[in-house]
Amino acid sequence: MTQMSTYEDVLKRLKVVIHSAVDGIIIINDHGEIEEVNPSACILFGYTAEEMLKKNLTMLIPDSYLKPHQDFIRDYLKTRIPKIIGTGREVKGRTKDGTEFPFWLAVSEVKLLERTIFVGFIHDLSEVKTAEYRLKILNKELEKKVVERTYELEAVINQLLAVNKKLEEEINKNITIQNQLKEREVELEQSLLKERELGELKSRFVSMASHEFRTPLATILSSVSLIGRYTETDQQENREKHINKIKSSVTHLTDILNDFLSMNKLEEGKIISHQEVFDVVGLWKEVKEEMTSILKQGQSIHNVINMSQPIIISDRKIIKNILFNLISNAIKYSADNGIIECSIQGDQSRVIMTIKDNGIGIPPDEQKHLFERFFRASNVTNIEGTGLGLNIVKKYVEMLGGQINFSSKLYSGTTFTVEFGVKTEPAHLQV
């Protein structure tokens, strides 16, 4: 038996298998010539087996796919890089009448005796593609309906907004509308609660501010009246005493107004963080210098600075407000001759600021309320304040993406620690 007859014999045995396959199967040699084709492949391409045998595989490839595939066997045998052979992919075929159709092609290399053949398995994707196309059409129709319903919903919402003020009077009379607008009503209720809360907050502040204004205004009026009586040169000390009282009262009034304005802007989302390049150590020293004007008798501020990179990118104004508030509190709640210990440390990614006083401290059972609006500890009732400062500071720290912590011991003082991330500026841009 010759080698060729042996090959033919083996090929005949394969026919029994490939001719029973549901998917199309085509066997080609290393020149791309078709050596065997099963009935399923003939049906797919519309040829008889006789019309396909001994023909080049390119007869089944559309012109648009012909160039990249006509030399794929030669390229593979040369490079052994599997672009089609040994892998599977979606391709297009051309039938006898020129119709193109999609199919999944998997090509395997087979060593048969001393010959190499390539077996292609063809799975028709026409029905799948048709289903995909129909699905796309259905999706587009669905998207169109969704858009139409969205426009309709937007129109309804706009109408509801226009009559929103009248809903409270009509809501008890129109139960049907109330059920239809249940979801919208929840959103509106949340907005109303927010407005009520803000209204109550402002009313409470006005009430508190009215009470707080009385003492400094009375002090100013009294001091102005008394200054007019000190007309002699040797009474300058008395005049200065009352002038200082007036300054202190004006400062207190300014603090109340600043707290109110800051709270109002924060509640309404009008404060936006503004990033800029600045020297945080320089800012620290600037705040310290400005704070010296409100120090009590004998008080002092001690600074400890440990910054490997003082030039940072952050919100300078917000950081300054945080420092002003915390240091002024330390001064306010510390006795004469007290020391305010301040430190700033950090690196290229973090800044940590600490303000420590040796003042009256915070009662342990009240510390959990420290950052609440209008909270004032029971041991500071005789000290001026609005109870808003630390609440505002906490919101400022959160705007920087940082956190604020504290520790306090009654009659021994309080320590606040503020930590936040920063970006640093390259050394050649330091100012």
pLDDT digits (tens, 9 = 90+) for 377-403: 898 878 877 778 898 899 889 989 999
Contact 314, 284 (CB under 8 A): no
Maximal C-alpha separation, the chain:
143
Q: For residue 97, what is the DSSP state?
A: T
Does the structural domain 180-267 have CATH classification 1.10.287.130? Answer: yes
Does the structural domain 3-124 have CATH classification 1.10.10.10? Answer: no
Q: Which of 176-180, 373-377, 403-407 has the highest mean pLDDT?
A: 403-407
Could you tell me the CA-to-CA distances from 156 to 146, 166, 184 in Å, in that order?
15, 16, 11
The residue-averaged pLDDT of 102-121 equals 81
Residue range 276-429, CATH number: 3.30.565.10
Would you say the C-alpha torsion 280, 282, 287, 292 has a positive or negative sign?
positive
Contact 361, 412 (CB under 8 A): yes
Q: Is the pLDDT of residue 364 over 90?
A: yes
| Residue 304 DSSP SS3 | strand
The residue-averaged pLDDT of 207-219 equals 54
The residue-averaged pLDDT of 291-305 equals 89
Lowest mean pLDDT across 149-158, 170-179, 398-407: 170-179
Q: So where are the chain's domains?
A: 3-124, 130-162, 180-267, 276-429
pTM here? 0.46
Q: For residue 294, what is the DSSP state?
A: G
**What is the spatial distance between Cα 291 and Cα 303, in angstroms, rounded to a whole number?**
13
| Residue 380 DSSP SS3 | helix
Percent of the chain at pLDDT > 70 equals: 72
User: Half-sphere exposure (CA, 13 Å, Cβ side) for 98?
Assistant: 0
pLDDT digits (tens, 9 = 90+) for 237-267: 777 776 766 765 666 566 556 666 666 666 6
| Identical topology for domains 3-124 and 180-267 | no
Could you tell me the CA-to-CA distances from 378 to 114, 362, 406 in Å, in that order?
100, 9, 18
